[in-house]
Amino acid sequence: MFYYYSKGLSSSFLRFFYFFINIKLSFYLMKVTIILSKTNKRQYLKTLLILLTLFTSSLLALSNQPFQGGVAVINIGEFEQKPKVFFKAREVKVLQKDGDYVAVIGIAIDEKAGEKHIVAVTKKKKEHIYFDVDAKSYKKEYIKLKTNKRVTLSKTDLQRFQKEKKKTKKILKSFNKNISSNLEFISPLSGRISSTFGKKRYYNGKAKSPHKGTDIAAKRGTPIVASLGGKVVLRKDLFFNGNTIYLDHGEGVITMYSHMQKFAVNDGDDIQKGDVIGYVGTTGRSTGPHLHFGIILNGEAIDPGVFIGDYR
């Protein structure tokens, strides 16, 4: 059986930012209304219509239209038991909601736009479910570093980085069935968002890979909390990311916290949402005290703004 994904907001986190966006949009519309009603009535009605169309489509893009670097939330319906769901041969997170199962799929920033499909499997059933991924363009960002140590790597540093990459990649691709979460993330730190997800980065003029998280600037030493409950699966000083913690939330959901000044937890610790796990610093490739916060689903870094909201 084949069917297309078209269901609306199916989980509480989506309803949550739907609510906030609605408030913001209503406010904006009110402002526009006041300005335009003072000038030309026909022009005002036309603009209102265009604005409404734009807002409706942007809401869809944020809430349930998957995009490059975003998340596909797909209601896969009823099954006699919890199905295993695969996207590109990798197992993805499945939630249960009002008798239906919902697959939550991380879309890589470099995933080609267009039609995609997932496969849901139980002992009795196998279904292919189709959905579309929209293209999204991200801005550029130019960063100046004092030295080129973390731009053009020495042989020793390159070897260190490659070793670290092998280790982190393995963790990010893991699928732990013993931990489960509801995906109701909280912000790990309150502060100014100093850089958003997806920006194409140039360090001292040299093109590097895009930014795979949200940067939150705060004073050195400010406590950082766990965005969700989980297990510490990495606690390490990494060449680029500095002092970094990975928390495993099960079923391919991992959060990362980088550039810390110091750690507050140990490898293997079980952590509750909101527990202090470390303190803001500027270790690794960093230009000032901040937290680099990343969310990984099925091995793909996605925009944390989808869950913790740059939109609040």
Q: 137 with 113: CB under 8 angstroms?
A: no
Q: What is the distance between the terminal CA atoms of the chain, rounded to a whole angstrom? A: 40
Q: Of residues 263-282, which lie at the interface with Zn ion (CB under 5 A)?
A: none
Query: In this complex, which beta carbon is closest to Zn ion, that of residue 217 or of residue 264?
Result: 217
Instruction: Compute how many residues bind Zn ion; rule: CB under 5 A.
Output: 3
Q: Which stretch binds Zn ion (CB under 5 A): 114-122, 133-141, 210-218, 273-281?
A: 210-218
> For residue 231, what are the CA distances in angstroms to 50, 196, 222, 309?
47, 26, 22, 24
- By the rule CB under 5 A, 235 interacts with Zn ion: no
Query: Smallest gap, in angstroms, from Cβ of residue 195 to Zn ion?
Result: 6
Query: Smallest gap, in angstroms, from Cβ of residue 103 to Zn ion?
Result: 28
In terms of C-beta distances under 8 Å and separation of at least 24 residues, what long-range contacts does 176-179 make, across chains too? 176/231, 176/248, 176/250, 176/251, 176/252, 177/250, 177/251, 178/250, 179/230, 179/231, 179/248, 179/249, 179/250, 179/251
Query: In this complex, which beta carbon is closest to Zn ion, that of residue 42 or of residue 144?
Result: 144
Query: Smallest gap, in angstroms, from Cβ of residue 217 to Zn ion?
Result: 10
Contact flags string 161-200 toward Zn ion, x per CB under 5 A:
----------------------------------------
Query: Smallest gap, in angstroms, from Cβ of residue 211 to Zn ion?
Result: 6
Render 36-49 in DSSP notation, one character per residue.
HHTS-HHHHHHHHH
- For tokens 């736009």, the residue is 113
- By the rule CB under 5 A, 215 interacts with Zn ion: yes
Q: 215 with 257: CB under 8 angstroms?
A: no
Contact flags string 279-298 toward Zn ion, x per CB under 5 A:
-------------x------
- Binding residues (CB under 5 A) for Zn ion: these are 213, 215, 292
